[in-house]
Structure 1
Amino acid sequence: MLTIGDKFPAFKLKATVSTDLDTAFVDIDNASYPGKWTCVFFYPKDFTFVCPTEIKGFADVNQQFLDRDCQILAGSTDSEFVHLAWRKDHKDLHELPFPMLADIRKDLVSALGILTDEGVAQRATFLVDPEGVIRFVYVTDGSVGRNPAEVLRVLDALQTDELCPCNWKQGDAVLKVA
């Protein structure tokens, strides 16, 4: 699996961005958000149980990520059409404020090293800096949802470019080398 300090792989994927069939799909690649951080999180499958709770959790804090110049991207190995159907079907996903990447060829999840033996993505999150370098990786078991507030806390710490102690939160003092 790629980790901290590695370059995020080059990709170009179809993404679902709305429930309107006329505007639902766009292409997204590494250059789609120049000068921004990205929070790219993968989940195993659409139409499952833990996944929508996480997607909604990230949607609930999306504006806080945007306020920090960070674009959230969700992704799975489902197609853009399955993403569209799920967004239309699940009330918490109707107005999702970020794209859902469709890695149906599994190129990106394979390059990241997060493709499971079952052929789906692990529950993995990557914070990627504006230069395309992975600065944070967070992976949980398939049965355990992640904590979007923790990802946001780590983004805040990374953006200080300072030493941040355990449980540091935005506004707390950073460590100074004596």
Structure 2
Amino acid sequence: MLTVGDHLPKFTLKAVQGGPEGLKFDTAFTDISDETHGSKWKVIFFWPKDFTFVCPTELVGFGERIKEFTDRHAVLYGASTDSEFVHLNWRLHHPSLKGLPFPMLADIKRELSTALGILHKTEGVALRATFIVDPHNVIRFVSVNDLSVGRNPAEVLRVLDALQSGELCPCDWQKGEEFLTPAAV
């Protein structure tokens, strides 16, 4: 599995756009690559399958915090190994996902999830992996959960704040709190 300090692999994937454009068949689809938002931080999170139980809770949780991510000059991408057509169908038929504000990447050939090393060994779907990638496409944070356990978008924001600060941040540090200062010897 790729980890902190590795470069995000090059990719170009079909995606269902976020917002109202993603709900209309004639405007729903776009291509997104590792270079699409080159000067921004990227938060890419994977889920195993559309039309499941834990996944929509995570998508809604991240979507509710979209302004907090954009305020930090970060783009949010959700991804699974489902096709863009399955993503669109899910958005159209799940009331909580109709207003989803970020794109849903379709890694149907499993190229990105394979390159990242996050495919479940027996199920062949993406694990619940989260990557924070800096504007130079260097991975700065990785978290992976088992298929049955959702993640915490507030914690992802906390880590993004800490990474963007460039400072030493203690356990449970929150934006606005004091940083650690090494003692002079």
Structure 2 match to 1:2: 2
Cα displacement (A) at 1:177 = 1.3
TM-score (norm 1): 0.99
Alignment of 1:57-68 (within 5 A): 57-68=61-72
Structure 2 match to 1:55: 59
Cα displacement (A) at 1:141 = 1.1
Structure 2 match to 1:147: 152
Q: Are residues 1:118 and 2:123 paired?
A: yes
Alignment of 1:17-166 (within 5 A): 17=17, 18-116=22-120, 117-166=122-171
Which amino acid counterpart does residue 14 of structure 1 have in structure 2?
A: K
Which amino acid counterpart does residue 85 of structure 1 have in structure 2?
A: N
Structure 1 match to 2:182: 177
Which amino acid counterpart does residue 109 of structure 1 have in structure 2?
A: S
**Cα deviation digits, residues 68-119 of structure 1 (max 9, x gap):** 0000000000000000000001011101110000000000000000011211
Cα displacement (A) at 1:5 = 0.4
Matched residue of 1:21: which SS?
A: coil
Which amino acid counterpart does residue 175 of structure 2 have in structure 1?
A: Q
TM-score (norm 2): 0.95
Identity over the aligned pairs, expressed in percent?
61
5+ long unaligned stretches in structure 1: none
**Cα deviation digits, residues 133-173 of structure 1 (max 9, x gap):** 00000111111100000000000000000000000000000
Runs of 4+ in 1 over 4 A off after TM superposition: none
Give, in whole Å, the separation in 2 of the partners of 1:143 and 1:62.
Answer: 24
Q: How many residues end up aligned between the 2 structures?
A: 178
Which amino acid counterpart does residue 51 of structure 1 have in structure 2?
A: C
Give, in whole Å, the separation in 1 of the partners of 2:40 and 2:128.
Answer: 23
Which amino acid counterpart does residue 25 of structure 2 have in structure 1?
A: L
RMSD between aligned residues = 0.5
**Cα deviation digits, residues 23-71 of structure 1 (max 9, x gap):** 0000000110021000000000000000000000000001100000000
5+ long unaligned stretches in structure 2: none
Structure 1 match to 2:14: 14
